[in-house]
Structure 1
Protein backbone atom coordinates (compact mmCIF):
# COMPACT_ATOMS: atom_id res chain seq x y z
CA UNK A 1 0.00 0.00 0.00
CA UNK A 2 2.71 2.48 1.01
CA UNK A 3 4.81 1.63 -2.05
CA UNK A 4 1.84 2.30 -4.33
CA UNK A 5 1.24 5.66 -2.66
CA UNK A 6 4.88 6.63 -3.17
CA UNK A 7 4.76 5.53 -6.82
CA UNK A 8 1.55 7.42 -7.63
CA UNK A 9 2.54 10.57 -5.75
CA UNK A 10 6.00 10.28 -7.33
CA UNK A 11 4.37 10.34 -10.77
CA UNK A 12 2.32 13.38 -9.76
CA UNK A 13 5.52 15.19 -8.78
CA UNK A 14 8.07 14.04 -11.37
CA UNK A 15 6.14 15.82 -14.12
CA UNK A 16 7.41 19.09 -12.57
CA UNK A 17 10.95 18.06 -13.52
CA UNK A 18 9.85 16.66 -16.88
CA UNK A 19 8.07 19.92 -17.69
CA UNK A 20 11.30 21.80 -16.98
CA UNK A 21 13.32 19.49 -19.24
CA UNK A 22 10.79 19.86 -22.06
CA UNK A 23 10.80 23.65 -21.68
CA UNK A 24 14.61 23.71 -21.80
CA UNK A 25 14.62 21.63 -25.01
CA UNK A 26 11.85 23.80 -26.45
CA UNK A 27 13.80 26.99 -25.74
CA UNK A 28 16.99 25.77 -27.38
CA UNK A 29 15.74 23.71 -30.31
CA UNK A 30 12.56 25.43 -31.51
CA UNK A 31 12.87 28.72 -33.35
CA UNK A 32 10.92 31.77 -32.26
CA UNK A 33 7.85 31.86 -34.48
CA UNK A 34 4.07 31.92 -34.33
CA UNK A 35 3.80 28.12 -34.19
CA UNK A 36 6.00 28.10 -31.09
CA UNK A 37 3.65 30.50 -29.32
CA UNK A 38 0.65 28.44 -30.44
CA UNK A 39 2.18 25.37 -28.79
CA UNK A 40 2.95 27.29 -25.58
CA UNK A 41 -0.57 28.69 -25.29
CA UNK A 42 -2.15 25.35 -26.18
CA UNK A 43 -0.16 23.69 -23.39
CA UNK A 44 -1.39 26.34 -20.95
CA UNK A 45 -4.94 25.79 -22.14
CA UNK A 46 -4.57 22.01 -21.81
CA UNK A 47 -3.36 22.45 -18.23
CA UNK A 48 -6.37 24.61 -17.41
CA UNK A 49 -8.69 21.91 -18.77
CA UNK A 50 -7.00 19.29 -16.59
CA UNK A 51 -7.32 21.54 -13.53
CA UNK A 52 -11.02 22.13 -14.25
CA UNK A 53 -11.60 18.39 -14.57
CA UNK A 54 -9.83 17.79 -11.24
CA UNK A 55 -12.18 20.31 -9.62
CA UNK A 56 -15.35 19.09 -11.29
CA UNK A 57 -14.77 15.33 -11.11
CA UNK A 58 -12.76 14.73 -7.94
CA UNK A 59 -12.09 17.56 -5.49
CA UNK A 60 -15.49 19.25 -5.29
CA UNK A 61 -17.69 16.11 -5.59
CA UNK A 62 -15.73 14.24 -2.90
CA UNK A 63 -15.77 17.28 -0.62
CA UNK A 64 -19.51 17.76 -1.10
CA UNK A 65 -20.19 14.14 -0.21
CA UNK A 66 -18.61 14.64 3.21
CA UNK A 67 -19.53 18.19 4.24
CA UNK A 68 -22.67 20.21 4.85
CA UNK A 69 -23.40 23.34 2.84
CA UNK A 70 -22.06 26.01 5.23
CA UNK A 71 -18.63 24.36 5.77
CA UNK A 72 -18.35 23.95 1.99
CA UNK A 73 -19.06 27.64 1.39
CA UNK A 74 -16.59 28.73 4.09
CA UNK A 75 -13.74 26.48 2.92
CA UNK A 76 -14.27 27.34 -0.74
CA UNK A 77 -14.27 31.09 -0.11
CA UNK A 78 -11.28 30.86 2.25
CA UNK A 79 -9.30 29.08 -0.46
CA UNK A 80 -10.19 31.68 -3.08
CA UNK A 81 -9.48 34.62 -0.75
CA UNK A 82 -6.13 33.26 0.44
CA UNK A 83 -4.95 32.58 -3.10
CA UNK A 84 -6.11 36.07 -4.10
CA UNK A 85 -4.10 37.65 -1.28
CA UNK A 86 -0.99 35.68 -2.23
CA UNK A 87 -1.51 36.54 -5.91
CA UNK A 88 -1.78 40.26 -5.10
CA UNK A 89 1.38 40.05 -2.99
CA UNK A 90 3.29 38.41 -5.84
CA UNK A 91 1.97 40.95 -8.34
CA UNK A 92 3.16 43.82 -6.14
CA UNK A 93 6.60 42.23 -5.82
CA UNK A 94 6.85 41.80 -9.58
CA UNK A 95 9.18 39.31 -11.21
CA UNK A 96 8.46 36.03 -12.90
CA UNK A 97 8.19 33.67 -9.93
CA UNK A 98 4.41 33.95 -9.73
CA UNK A 99 3.75 31.01 -12.05
CA UNK A 100 6.07 28.78 -10.03
CA UNK A 101 4.41 29.70 -6.74
CA UNK A 102 0.98 29.32 -8.33
CA UNK A 103 1.92 25.77 -9.29
CA UNK A 104 3.02 25.00 -5.74
CA UNK A 105 -0.12 26.60 -4.29
CA UNK A 106 -2.29 23.93 -5.87
CA UNK A 107 0.29 21.11 -6.02
CA UNK A 108 0.88 20.92 -2.26
CA UNK A 109 -2.73 20.80 -0.97
CA UNK A 110 -3.69 18.41 -3.78
CA UNK A 111 -0.82 16.08 -2.85
CA UNK A 112 -1.86 16.09 0.81
CA UNK A 113 -5.43 15.29 -0.24
CA UNK A 114 -4.08 12.51 -2.46
CA UNK A 115 -2.39 10.83 0.50
CA UNK A 116 -5.49 11.11 2.67
CA UNK A 117 -7.82 9.76 -0.03
CA UNK A 118 -5.49 6.86 -0.87
CA UNK A 119 -6.25 5.08 2.42
CA UNK A 120 -10.01 5.30 1.82
CA UNK A 121 -10.50 5.15 -1.97
CA UNK A 122 -7.34 3.98 -3.79
CA UNK A 123 -9.00 4.16 -7.23
CA UNK A 124 -10.02 7.78 -6.71
CA UNK A 125 -6.51 8.57 -5.44
CA UNK A 126 -5.03 7.12 -8.64
CA UNK A 127 -7.24 9.41 -10.72
CA UNK A 128 -6.25 12.40 -8.59
CA UNK A 129 -2.56 11.50 -9.02
CA UNK A 130 -3.03 11.47 -12.81
CA UNK A 131 -4.78 14.85 -12.68
CA UNK A 132 -2.01 16.38 -10.55
CA UNK A 133 0.72 14.98 -12.76
CA UNK A 134 -0.88 16.17 -15.99
CA UNK A 135 -1.58 19.68 -14.68
CA UNK A 136 1.95 20.00 -13.28
CA UNK A 137 3.49 19.35 -16.69
CA UNK A 138 2.27 22.49 -18.51
CA UNK A 139 2.55 24.58 -15.32
CA UNK A 140 6.19 23.56 -14.90
CA UNK A 141 6.81 24.17 -18.60
CA UNK A 142 5.65 27.77 -18.31
CA UNK A 143 7.28 28.31 -14.91
CA UNK A 144 10.65 27.23 -16.33
CA UNK A 145 10.42 29.73 -19.17
CA UNK A 146 9.44 32.53 -16.78
CA UNK A 147 12.32 31.77 -14.40
CA UNK A 148 14.86 31.71 -17.25
CA UNK A 149 13.57 35.08 -18.42
CA UNK A 150 14.01 36.36 -14.86
CA UNK A 151 17.71 35.54 -14.94
CA UNK A 152 17.84 32.06 -13.41
CA UNK A 153 20.36 29.69 -15.02
CA UNK A 154 19.17 26.50 -16.70
CA UNK A 155 21.08 24.24 -14.29
CA UNK A 156 19.83 26.08 -11.21
CA UNK A 157 16.22 25.98 -12.43
CA UNK A 158 16.32 22.29 -13.35
CA UNK A 159 17.91 21.44 -9.99
CA UNK A 160 15.16 23.37 -8.21
CA UNK A 161 12.49 21.58 -10.25
CA UNK A 162 14.10 18.22 -9.46
CA UNK A 163 13.78 18.82 -5.71
CA UNK A 164 10.29 20.31 -6.07
CA UNK A 165 9.17 17.11 -7.79
CA UNK A 166 9.52 15.30 -4.44
CA UNK A 167 6.93 17.60 -2.85
CA UNK A 168 4.26 15.26 -4.17
CA UNK A 169 5.60 12.31 -2.18
CA UNK A 170 6.14 14.42 0.95
CA UNK A 171 2.65 15.92 0.78
CA UNK A 172 1.03 12.54 0.11
CA UNK A 173 2.80 10.93 3.08
CA UNK A 174 1.71 13.80 5.33
CA UNK A 175 -1.88 13.41 4.18
CA UNK A 176 -1.78 9.62 4.49
CA UNK A 177 -0.49 9.54 8.05
CA UNK A 178 -2.16 12.65 9.45
CA UNK A 179 -5.47 12.96 7.60
CA UNK A 180 -6.53 9.46 6.52
CA UNK A 181 -8.58 9.12 9.73
CA UNK A 182 -10.05 12.62 9.35
CA UNK A 183 -12.41 12.54 6.35
CA UNK A 184 -13.97 15.88 7.27
CA UNK A 185 -10.60 17.62 7.37
CA UNK A 186 -9.62 16.00 4.07
CA UNK A 187 -12.88 17.21 2.53
CA UNK A 188 -12.20 20.74 3.80
CA UNK A 189 -8.75 20.61 2.21
CA UNK A 190 -10.23 19.51 -1.12
CA UNK A 191 -12.82 22.29 -1.13
CA UNK A 192 -10.25 24.84 0.06
CA UNK A 193 -7.86 23.86 -2.75
CA UNK A 194 -10.74 24.00 -5.24
CA UNK A 195 -11.53 27.61 -4.36
CA UNK A 196 -7.90 28.61 -4.72
CA UNK A 197 -7.35 26.73 -7.97
CA UNK A 198 -10.48 28.20 -9.51
CA UNK A 199 -9.27 31.69 -8.59
CA UNK A 200 -5.90 31.04 -10.27
CA UNK A 201 -7.59 29.66 -13.36
CA UNK A 202 -9.89 32.65 -13.82
CA UNK A 203 -7.39 35.31 -12.79
CA UNK A 204 -4.16 34.12 -14.39
CA UNK A 205 -4.02 30.88 -16.33
CA UNK A 206 -7.05 31.06 -18.64
CA UNK A 207 -6.49 34.73 -19.68
CA UNK A 208 -2.78 34.08 -20.37
CA UNK A 209 -3.54 30.97 -22.43
CA UNK A 210 -5.57 33.00 -24.92
CA UNK A 211 -3.75 33.86 -28.15
CA UNK A 212 -5.05 36.76 -30.22
CA UNK A 213 -6.78 35.79 -33.47
CA UNK A 214 -6.35 32.09 -32.75
CA UNK A 215 -9.24 29.88 -31.76
CA UNK A 216 -7.67 26.42 -31.89
CA UNK A 217 -5.66 26.93 -28.69
CA UNK A 218 -8.93 26.87 -26.75
CA UNK A 219 -9.35 23.25 -27.84
CA UNK A 220 -6.43 22.46 -25.53
CA UNK A 221 -8.70 23.11 -22.54
CA UNK A 222 -11.40 20.92 -24.08
CA UNK A 223 -8.93 18.08 -24.59
CA UNK A 224 -7.59 18.51 -21.06
CA UNK A 225 -11.08 18.22 -19.60
CA UNK A 226 -11.80 15.24 -21.88
CA UNK A 227 -8.77 13.46 -20.43
CA UNK A 228 -10.36 13.91 -17.00
CA UNK A 229 -13.70 12.52 -18.20
CA UNK A 230 -11.99 9.48 -19.73
CA UNK A 231 -9.95 8.85 -16.58
CA UNK A 232 -12.99 9.17 -14.34
CA UNK A 233 -14.99 6.78 -16.55
CA UNK A 234 -12.22 4.17 -16.70
CA UNK A 235 -11.55 4.21 -12.96
Structure 2
Protein backbone atom coordinates (compact mmCIF):
# COMPACT_ATOMS: atom_id res chain seq x y z
CA UNK A 1 0.00 0.00 0.00
CA UNK A 2 2.68 2.48 1.05
CA UNK A 3 4.77 1.62 -1.99
CA UNK A 4 1.88 2.58 -4.25
CA UNK A 5 1.41 5.90 -2.47
CA UNK A 6 5.15 6.60 -2.49
CA UNK A 7 5.76 5.91 -6.17
CA UNK A 8 2.51 7.57 -7.25
CA UNK A 9 3.54 10.68 -5.32
CA UNK A 10 7.06 10.69 -6.76
CA UNK A 11 5.83 10.41 -10.35
CA UNK A 12 3.17 13.10 -9.92
CA UNK A 13 5.49 15.45 -8.02
CA UNK A 14 7.08 16.33 -11.37
CA UNK A 15 4.02 18.48 -12.11
CA UNK A 16 4.63 20.47 -8.93
CA UNK A 17 8.33 20.69 -9.79
CA UNK A 18 7.50 22.04 -13.23
CA UNK A 19 5.14 24.60 -11.70
CA UNK A 20 7.78 25.82 -9.24
CA UNK A 21 10.34 26.15 -12.04
CA UNK A 22 8.09 28.26 -14.28
CA UNK A 23 7.12 30.47 -11.34
CA UNK A 24 10.79 31.28 -10.76
CA UNK A 25 12.49 31.11 -14.15
CA UNK A 26 11.96 31.84 -17.83
CA UNK A 27 11.86 28.60 -19.81
CA UNK A 28 12.50 28.61 -23.59
CA UNK A 29 9.76 27.01 -25.65
CA UNK A 30 12.13 24.62 -27.40
CA UNK A 31 13.23 23.13 -24.09
CA UNK A 32 9.61 22.55 -23.05
CA UNK A 33 8.85 21.01 -26.43
CA UNK A 34 11.87 18.71 -26.15
CA UNK A 35 10.97 17.55 -22.64
CA UNK A 36 7.41 16.94 -23.79
CA UNK A 37 8.65 14.90 -26.75
CA UNK A 38 10.90 12.82 -24.50
CA UNK A 39 7.96 12.18 -22.15
CA UNK A 40 5.74 11.30 -25.10
CA UNK A 41 8.13 8.62 -26.31
CA UNK A 42 8.66 7.27 -22.81
CA UNK A 43 4.91 6.96 -22.20
CA UNK A 44 4.31 5.27 -25.55
CA UNK A 45 7.02 2.74 -24.74
CA UNK A 46 5.84 2.18 -21.17
CA UNK A 47 2.26 1.66 -22.29
CA UNK A 48 3.34 -0.82 -24.95
CA UNK A 49 5.87 -2.84 -22.95
CA UNK A 50 4.41 -2.58 -19.45
CA UNK A 51 0.68 -2.75 -20.13
CA UNK A 52 -0.27 -4.14 -23.51
CA UNK A 53 2.48 -6.76 -23.70
CA UNK A 54 1.97 -7.98 -20.14
CA UNK A 55 -1.82 -7.93 -20.50
CA UNK A 56 -1.55 -10.21 -23.51
CA UNK A 57 0.44 -12.64 -21.39
CA UNK A 58 -2.41 -13.07 -18.89
CA UNK A 59 -5.45 -12.64 -21.18
CA UNK A 60 -6.50 -12.57 -24.82
CA UNK A 61 -6.57 -9.94 -27.53
CA UNK A 62 -10.29 -9.53 -26.85
CA UNK A 63 -9.75 -8.22 -23.31
CA UNK A 64 -6.90 -6.02 -24.50
CA UNK A 65 -9.08 -4.53 -27.25
CA UNK A 66 -12.00 -3.87 -24.90
CA UNK A 67 -9.82 -2.14 -22.34
CA UNK A 68 -7.48 -0.26 -24.66
CA UNK A 69 -10.04 1.07 -27.14
CA UNK A 70 -12.54 1.73 -24.34
CA UNK A 71 -9.99 3.81 -22.42
CA UNK A 72 -9.11 5.80 -25.52
CA UNK A 73 -12.77 6.45 -26.30
CA UNK A 74 -13.72 7.53 -22.77
CA UNK A 75 -10.70 9.84 -22.52
CA UNK A 76 -11.52 11.39 -25.90
CA UNK A 77 -15.11 12.11 -24.83
CA UNK A 78 -13.97 13.65 -21.54
CA UNK A 79 -11.20 15.58 -23.27
CA UNK A 80 -13.71 16.99 -25.75
CA UNK A 81 -15.85 18.26 -22.89
CA UNK A 82 -12.96 19.64 -20.83
CA UNK A 83 -11.44 21.31 -23.90
CA UNK A 84 -14.63 23.32 -24.35
CA UNK A 85 -14.19 24.56 -20.78
CA UNK A 86 -10.66 25.82 -21.38
CA UNK A 87 -8.81 22.60 -20.58
CA UNK A 88 -7.24 22.44 -24.05
CA UNK A 89 -4.71 25.01 -22.81
CA UNK A 90 -3.24 22.70 -20.17
CA UNK A 91 -0.36 21.69 -22.43
CA UNK A 92 0.08 25.06 -24.14
CA UNK A 93 3.38 26.78 -23.43
CA UNK A 94 2.90 29.87 -25.56
CA UNK A 95 3.30 32.19 -22.60
CA UNK A 96 5.90 30.36 -20.55
CA UNK A 97 8.70 32.57 -21.81
CA UNK A 98 6.78 35.83 -21.39
CA UNK A 99 7.25 38.18 -18.43
CA UNK A 100 5.01 37.28 -15.54
CA UNK A 101 3.37 40.68 -15.69
CA UNK A 102 1.97 39.92 -19.14
CA UNK A 103 0.22 36.85 -17.82
CA UNK A 104 -2.39 38.92 -16.04
CA UNK A 105 -4.99 41.26 -17.39
CA UNK A 106 -4.72 44.98 -16.87
CA UNK A 107 -6.84 44.96 -13.71
CA UNK A 108 -4.59 42.38 -12.04
CA UNK A 109 -7.48 39.95 -11.73
CA UNK A 110 -9.30 37.55 -13.98
CA UNK A 111 -12.55 37.59 -15.86
CA UNK A 112 -15.22 34.96 -15.42
CA UNK A 113 -14.13 33.38 -18.71
CA UNK A 114 -10.51 33.27 -17.59
CA UNK A 115 -11.46 31.66 -14.28
CA UNK A 116 -13.46 29.02 -16.15
CA UNK A 117 -10.49 28.42 -18.44
CA UNK A 118 -8.15 28.07 -15.45
CA UNK A 119 -10.41 25.54 -13.78
CA UNK A 120 -10.65 23.63 -17.05
CA UNK A 121 -6.85 23.52 -17.17
CA UNK A 122 -6.74 22.15 -13.63
CA UNK A 123 -9.44 19.51 -14.20
CA UNK A 124 -7.78 18.49 -17.47
CA UNK A 125 -4.44 18.10 -15.72
CA UNK A 126 -6.01 15.87 -13.07
CA UNK A 127 -7.67 13.85 -15.83
CA UNK A 128 -4.25 13.37 -17.49
CA UNK A 129 -2.43 12.24 -14.34
CA UNK A 130 -4.97 9.80 -12.87
CA UNK A 131 -4.61 6.96 -15.42
CA UNK A 132 -0.82 7.35 -15.31
CA UNK A 133 -0.76 6.96 -11.54
CA UNK A 134 -3.18 4.03 -11.68
CA UNK A 135 -0.70 2.30 -13.99
CA UNK A 136 1.99 2.56 -11.32
CA UNK A 137 -0.30 1.01 -8.72
CA UNK A 138 -1.25 -1.81 -11.07
CA UNK A 139 2.41 -2.67 -11.60
CA UNK A 140 2.64 -3.41 -7.85
CA UNK A 141 -0.21 -5.95 -7.77
CA UNK A 142 0.85 -9.24 -6.25
CA UNK A 143 3.78 -7.77 -4.35
CA UNK A 144 5.82 -7.11 -7.46
CA UNK A 145 8.53 -4.46 -7.55
CA UNK A 146 7.50 -1.13 -9.01
CA UNK A 147 8.03 -0.69 -12.73
CA UNK A 148 10.81 1.88 -12.99
CA UNK A 149 10.02 2.27 -16.69
CA UNK A 150 6.57 3.52 -15.72
CA UNK A 151 7.77 5.79 -12.92
CA UNK A 152 10.53 7.40 -14.99
CA UNK A 153 8.31 7.76 -18.07
CA UNK A 154 5.48 9.38 -16.13
CA UNK A 155 7.86 11.64 -14.19
CA UNK A 156 9.43 12.93 -17.42
CA UNK A 157 6.04 13.54 -19.04
CA UNK A 158 4.69 15.36 -15.99
CA UNK A 159 7.40 18.05 -15.99
CA UNK A 160 6.11 19.86 -19.11
CA UNK A 161 2.56 19.35 -17.80
CA UNK A 162 3.46 21.45 -14.77
CA UNK A 163 5.34 24.00 -16.86
CA UNK A 164 2.68 24.60 -19.47
CA UNK A 165 -0.40 24.32 -17.26
CA UNK A 166 1.04 26.78 -14.75
CA UNK A 167 1.49 29.32 -17.52
CA UNK A 168 -2.17 28.88 -18.42
CA UNK A 169 -3.27 29.23 -14.80
CA UNK A 170 -1.25 32.44 -14.45
CA UNK A 171 -2.91 33.74 -17.59
CA UNK A 172 -6.29 32.97 -16.03
CA UNK A 173 -5.45 35.17 -13.04
CA UNK A 174 -4.66 32.51 -10.41
CA UNK A 175 -2.25 33.58 -7.67
CA UNK A 176 1.02 31.72 -7.15
CA UNK A 177 -0.16 30.34 -3.80
CA UNK A 178 -3.38 29.04 -5.31
CA UNK A 179 -1.49 27.45 -8.20
CA UNK A 180 0.88 25.64 -5.84
CA UNK A 181 -2.07 24.45 -3.75
CA UNK A 182 -3.80 23.12 -6.87
CA UNK A 183 -0.70 21.17 -7.91
CA UNK A 184 -0.41 19.72 -4.41
CA UNK A 185 -3.99 18.50 -4.87
CA UNK A 186 -3.01 16.92 -8.20
CA UNK A 187 -0.17 15.06 -6.45
CA UNK A 188 -2.57 13.95 -3.70
CA UNK A 189 -5.16 12.64 -6.17
CA UNK A 190 -2.42 10.87 -8.10
CA UNK A 191 -1.22 9.12 -4.95
CA UNK A 192 -4.78 7.96 -4.28
CA UNK A 193 -5.12 6.76 -7.87
CA UNK A 194 -1.91 4.75 -7.53
CA UNK A 195 -3.19 3.26 -4.27
CA UNK A 196 -6.50 2.34 -5.91
CA UNK A 197 -4.70 0.67 -8.80
CA UNK A 198 -2.65 -1.44 -6.39
CA UNK A 199 -5.43 -2.50 -4.01
CA UNK A 200 -8.79 -2.62 -5.77
CA UNK A 201 -7.65 -5.13 -8.37
CA UNK A 202 -5.53 -7.30 -6.10
CA UNK A 203 -8.05 -10.17 -6.06
CA UNK A 204 -9.52 -9.58 -9.51
CA UNK A 205 -9.29 -12.15 -12.29
CA UNK A 206 -6.57 -11.88 -14.91
CA UNK A 207 -9.14 -10.79 -17.49
CA UNK A 208 -10.34 -7.90 -15.34
CA UNK A 209 -6.77 -6.85 -14.56
CA UNK A 210 -5.94 -6.86 -18.25
CA UNK A 211 -9.02 -4.83 -19.20
CA UNK A 212 -8.42 -2.20 -16.52
CA UNK A 213 -4.69 -1.97 -17.25
CA UNK A 214 -5.33 -1.56 -20.96
CA UNK A 215 -8.09 0.95 -20.22
CA UNK A 216 -5.51 3.15 -18.50
CA UNK A 217 -3.12 2.58 -21.40
CA UNK A 218 -5.73 3.58 -23.98
CA UNK A 219 -6.49 6.77 -22.06
CA UNK A 220 -2.80 7.64 -21.95
CA UNK A 221 -2.23 7.07 -25.67
CA UNK A 222 -5.28 9.21 -26.49
CA UNK A 223 -3.94 11.94 -24.18
CA UNK A 224 -0.51 11.80 -25.82
CA UNK A 225 -1.90 12.04 -29.34
CA UNK A 226 -4.36 14.86 -28.63
CA UNK A 227 -2.30 17.08 -26.32
CA UNK A 228 1.38 16.23 -25.94
CA UNK A 229 2.47 15.37 -29.48
CA UNK A 230 0.94 18.43 -31.22
CA UNK A 231 2.31 20.82 -28.61
CA UNK A 232 5.76 19.20 -28.62
CA UNK A 233 6.06 19.62 -32.39
CA UNK A 234 4.69 23.15 -32.27
CA UNK A 235 7.29 24.27 -29.75
CA UNK A 236 10.24 22.00 -30.58
CA UNK A 237 10.07 21.59 -34.35
CA UNK A 238 11.12 18.52 -36.39
CA UNK A 239 13.84 17.51 -33.89
CA UNK A 240 11.13 16.27 -31.52
CA UNK A 241 10.68 13.22 -33.74
CA UNK A 242 14.17 12.02 -32.83
CA UNK A 243 13.74 13.00 -29.17
CA UNK A 244 10.50 11.01 -29.02
CA UNK A 245 12.38 7.99 -30.37
CA UNK A 246 14.92 8.41 -27.56
CA UNK A 247 12.05 8.36 -25.07
CA UNK A 248 10.71 5.09 -26.51
CA UNK A 249 14.18 3.56 -26.34
CA UNK A 250 14.67 4.66 -22.72
CA UNK A 251 11.39 2.96 -21.82
CA UNK A 252 12.46 -0.22 -23.63
CA UNK A 253 15.84 -0.17 -21.87
CA UNK A 254 14.27 0.27 -18.42
CA UNK A 255 11.76 -2.49 -19.13
CA UNK A 256 14.44 -5.07 -19.89
CA UNK A 257 16.96 -4.04 -17.21
Where on the TM-score scale, by shorter chain, does this alignment land: which range?
A: 0.7 to 0.9
Aligned equivalents of 1:63 and 1:38: distance in 2? 36
Name the CA distance, whole Å, in 1 between partners of 2:79 and 2:135. 22
1:128 matched to 2:150? The reply is yes
Aligned residues: 226
Matched, 1:171 2:193: yes
Map 1:1-235 → 2, pairs under 5 A? 2-27=1-26, 36-94=28-86, 95=117, 100-120=122-142, 122-182=144-204, 183-211=206-234, 214-234=237-257
Q: Which moved more, 1:6-15 or 1:209-218?
A: 209-218
Kindly indicate whether the alpha-carbon contact (under 8 Å) linking 1:117 and 1:180 is maintained by their aligned counterparts in 2.
Answer: no
Structure 1 residues 212, 17: CA separation in 2 closer, same or farther (over 3 Å shift)? closer
Residues 74 and 3 (structure 1), Cα distance of their counterparts in 2 relative to 1, 3 Å cut: closer
Q: CA deviation at 1:102?
A: 4.2
* CA distance 1:230–1:121, shift in 2 (3 Å): farther
Structure 1 residues 47, 213: CA separation in 2 closer, same or farther (over 3 Å shift)?
Answer: closer
Q: What is the root-mean-square deviation in Å for CA atoms of aligned residues?
A: 2.4
Structure 1 runs not aligned, ≥5 long: 31-35
* Counterpart residue number, 1:33: none
Q: Secondary structure at the match of 1:151?
A: coil
Instruction: State how far apart, in whole Å, the 1-side matches of 2:52 and 2:30 are.
Output: 31
1:149-197 residue CA offsets vs partner (Å, 9 max, x unmatched): 2222222111110221122321222222221121432321221122222
TM-score normalised over the length of structure 1? 0.83
* Mapped partners of 1:88, 1:210: distance in 2: 21
Q: For structure 2, which runs of at least 5 residues remain unmatched after alignment?
A: 87-116
| 2:145 alignment partner, SS class | helix
Pick which of 110-119 and 140-149 moved more. 110-119
- Secondary structure of 1:123's counterpart equals coil
The TM-score with structure 2 as length reference comes to: 0.77
* Post-superposition CA distance 1:96-151 (Å, at most 9, x none): 55554444334213323422331326235343233222222222222112221222
Counterparts of 1:122 and 1:202 in 2: how far apart (Å)? 30
8 Å CA contact 1:112–1:175 kept in 2: the answer is yes
Q: Is the 8 A contact 1:42 1:218 kept in 2?
A: no
